[in-house]
Amino acid sequence: MDQNMNNNKANANTNYGTNIRALFAQMDNILIRGQLSYYDFLYMGFDELKKMSVHERNLLKHIKLNPFKTEFEPEPDQRFFFRMLEAKVNSDESVLLLSVALPYPRQRAEVSKSKGFIEGSSWYYDYHTILRARMNQILVMFSEIGRDAVKESGCFVDTSDYIDRELAFLCGLGNYGKNQMLIHPDLGTQFHIGHLYIILEERMDPLLSKMESEIELDGRRLYSGCQNCDKCVKACPAEICGTIQMNRLECISYLTQTKKTLTFEEMKMMRNKLYGCDICQNVCPTNLTQNKSGVNSLNIDHWQLNDFEGIELLETLKLSQSAFKRQYGDRGFAWRGVKVFKRNALIAMGNSGDNIFYEKLKMFSELKEDDFLKSYYEYALRETKPD
């Protein structure tokens, strides 16, 4: 939150609803009590919602033309968040949209190439549960203060009809880096994003609004520290950072999640990664600064921090789907299931080139009968076979 907004909150026009003024006056305190002290917001009336709907339509036209859309993204025609709000709000009402950041710890363990690696916070338990619970708690507090003025409210994390990072950018939570990650001045890229919206039956107080024009948004889209920095561009094995249109279909993090058939070059890029890729984030100066200063370490008590010592690759091949769920079901990577996990383990064994795997892999010959895993099993055998 900047000083101008604090001044605006203090000087709210008395011609507008007392519920809105009370809500804004308590906003910082509510978010701190809800353990989501890193946040920013958009406060919109009916006319402002119309402007954001135009921004939304233009962005979705651009997305529709993007040839690098992954199977995990909704169709552009299904991503109208502001249009949904516009249909719910009349000229005497307003909307508060909050974007919140949940910091996460950096996975720093050194793991040998003969073990599998889980990147970032995915090794810890699923952040969706934590973030959703905290946002629901915050909505209850807002409803108590807003009393009868709250017409409707909701929260979402990773499941909205819009693009989470773009919503967070519009709210002012951060700016884009050359790796297309959102960068927060205090947290770097080490945070998950959630959103809350509250429809208020009181018209918008213009003193509390901080709407930006398209020119202003374009002017701050790129994080200022990225102007003369190419560390992520040089570090990315897929060479997709810093491009005008990022080819997300070649991102290693995507490769560890997709079920599409992987090429030899794609498998080699994955190295020993079983889930995710944070290479571009690990070299980012904003993250190195925050880790060194300890800023981010003060905000991660919600994670069960335990030492990550790597995944025993051969052991993963023994897992059934039910055993996988029992062992990893509460982890951030578990949603992709045991088949993708086994595939990535086979690729990691092949990429290790470690001959010790060869004879042991032959004990899993039933994988030759698995249509999904067969080619990856053969890759692991071929790459670990002694000369």
- Considering the domain architecture, whether residues 212 and 335 belong to the same structural domain is answered as no
SS3 257: coil
Total domain count for the chain? 2
- Integer Cα distance of 345 and 314 in angstroms: 8
Give the list of residues 6+ apart from residue 73 with CB closer than 8 angstroms, or none.
none
Question: Most distant CA pair in the chain: distance in Å?
Answer: 83
Question: What is the value of pTM for the model shown?
Answer: 0.90
Structural tokens at position 37: 């002290």
Over the stretch 256-293, which tens digit does the pLDDT of each residue have? 999 999 999 999 999 999 999 999 999 999 998 765 55
The pLDDT of residue 7: 43
Least confident piece of the model among 42-46, 198-202, 295-299: 295-299
- Considering the domain architecture, whether residues 68 and 177 belong to the same structural domain is answered as yes
- Considering the domain architecture, whether residues 208 and 300 belong to the same structural domain is answered as no
Examine the fold and report which residue of 226, 260, 290 is the final residue of a domain before the chain moves on: 226
- Considering the domain architecture, whether residues 213 and 244 belong to the same structural domain is answered as no
- Considering the domain architecture, whether residues 217 and 313 belong to the same structural domain is answered as no
The pLDDT of residue 131: 93
Domain that holds residue 254: 234-384
| Alpha carbon distances (Å) from 21 to 18, 43, 94, 200 | 5, 12, 13, 12
What integer is the mean pLDDT of 334-347? 98
The pLDDT of residue 298: 46
Over the stretch 5-63, which tens digit does the pLDDT of each residue have? 444 444 444 345 677 888 999 999 999 999 999 999 999 999 999 999 999 999 999 88
What integer is the mean pLDDT of 112-137? 89
- Considering the domain architecture, whether residues 46 and 181 belong to the same structural domain is answered as yes
Q: Is residue 384 a contact partner of residue 313, using CB atoms and an 8 Å limit?
A: no
- Considering the domain architecture, whether residues 265 and 240 belong to the same structural domain is answered as yes
